[in-house]
Amino acid sequence: MTLTSFLLLLLIAALCGAVGQALAGYSLGGCLVSIVVGFVGALLGMWIARQFGLTTFFVLDVGGEAFPVVWSIIGSALLALIVGWINRGRYRNMP
């Protein structure tokens, strides 16, 4: 994997993470956090897809690495919802 393809993969992950957070209505942080959320969302989304036997569609091949865009967005939204739900409950009970 070249540096250009790695940077492109980071950009795609950041966009997927940002879209997932926007769909969830909860932002976990800035650009670097969006990259992490995008990658974790891809892992979470693909795990969910495998568990339910769903197909993988709209996969981008970047430098020999397949990145599932739709499952990354779905996983990012689920991750943001879960973290937002946990944080909301924690801060609600504070005096």
**pLDDT recorded at residue 67:** 87
| Range(s) of the domain holding residue 41 | 3-92
Residue-wise DSSP of the chain: --HHHHHHHHHHHHHHHHHHHHHHT----SHHHHHHHHHHHHHHHHHHHHHHTPPP-SEEEETTEEEEHHHHHHHHHHHHHHHHHHHHHHHHT--
Residue with tokens 């969302």: 41
Number of domains in the chain: 1
Residue with tokens 């909301």: 88
**pLDDT recorded at residue 74:** 94
**pLDDT recorded at residue 84:** 84
Residues of the chain where predicted confidence (pLDDT) is lower than 70: 89-95
